[in-house]
Structure 1
Amino acid sequence: MDEYKGGHFDAALKTMNDFVGTYKHDNNRARAKKIAIAAEIAQVLPAAGRHLPSTASGGGISVKVSNDSPDEVEILCTGPVTGSFTPKACGGCTAYANDLAAQVSACKDSSRNYPQKTISLPAGTRGR
């Protein structure tokens, strides 16, 4: 946790992943997983690493993520709640074109039910 608090997110990620892999039955394993996720995000967005993730598991805002990609996509989130999930690939969908104007839908069938996951998050706060 000192590595994370010190802004050394790459080291914190490795330490937490090592802990999770080594101590499979430890009571702190779930917390270590959350810190590893937050550290991975903070490597790209350092502002996301200003606070250690809480032990909260959910809240009051439902967010639905649909995957219209031919690949599984890992979703990482951190803030008042930290976690990850991986919506399955969309069978029959194709990759998006590189042209943003052409990115209407990767799937040829607009009536398709995409693989999706709904998560519950607490309301955030401005400026945090």
Structure 2
Amino acid sequence: KCMKTMSEEDSRTASRYAMIREVLRNAIVSGAAAKGLVLLEAPLGELFGTSRVPVRKALNLLHEEGLISRFDGRGYLVNPERQHVEPLRLSLSHKQFGLDSNEELVDTRPLGERIHDEIGAAL
């Protein structure tokens, strides 16, 4: 039997969605992301500097956890109590999610470059 290994792209996507989920989850639980805030894939992808794929996966997981609810089939609303909330359409910002706007959220460098830098830092 041959074992499947995650491709480099799959690995990056996995770590991205987990990081995005954690950041959004913390913002929702802490109240930094207001109830009713509309969460759409494209603006979140821009905010996190990534494609919509990891954003979609992170949003699906938060939906399964009950922290956000579907909104008109186009996105999600922050709705941890599952009550009726009015959609709150705001521009998404780093500050809203407790992020430093200069912080690079996702390391988008090629794997070889990241490994080289990590080895250099370890020596």
TM-score norm. by structure 2 comes to 0.23
Point out which structure has higher relative CO (alpha carbons under 8 A, 6+ apart): 2
| Structure (1 or 2) with the greater helix fraction | 2
